[in-house]
Structure 1
Amino acid sequence: MISTWDHTVTLLSVGDGYDDIGNPIEGVTSKLTIFAKRKPTNRREFYLAGQNGISIDETFVIHPYEYSKQTHLEFEGLYYTIVRTYQISNEELELQCSVKVGDLNGQ
């Protein structure tokens, strides 16, 4: 199977802030939309993650120079938490992601 850079993901930096009346909230502080390869999660990693109470729902490959320790990403309208990163080569970085329940404001 040939994987291609034909998907777009939005890397999200999430930080603390305040709403209009001064209540502390968590929200998106920056967004970066980039091209990515969508990669199937292999069976071994899926089950190993499950044994540790983690769900790996999607795996993406991006260029490492585009990644700046973001903790979340958006793909096809869903928000994901970046669970693990793995440097495949100088040109490819793998992001293993878990679906985030609710939005990025904790709702």
Structure 2
Amino acid sequence: MQEGSVTREVSDLSPSYDGIQTTLLDGDLVNFHVEMQNARDPEALDEYAECAAAQYALIRGFGFARHVRTTIEIEGDKWLGDAVYTVSPALPRGLKTIDAEVTVAACEENGIPTV
């Protein structure tokens, strides 16, 4: 190390999944409010919301979900997500579709909680 150089420690804090609130908006449209701390990036919060949507679809007897939108707010170490998904018994149209069973299995494998 050169004299005067500064080293920066990389945070090794694990993400904390701090809750999911689910609201049925209309028929098959569902809103998920998720909260995390120490998220590595916005995708981590998206994954958390996706896991919640997939499990919710299964609970309701559906096999699929489709992402509609997500907004993210950051307050210090706290990350808040407001995500909307549709749930359906058949593969919905659109680009951001989710096979609920496959997604829930991946969430469990990766240690991401669901509803």
TM range (shorter): 0.3 to 0.5
More helix by proportion, 1 or 2?
A: 2
Q: TM-score, normalised by structure 1?
A: 0.37
Which has the greater radius of gyration?
A: 2
Q: TM-score, normalised by structure 2?
A: 0.35
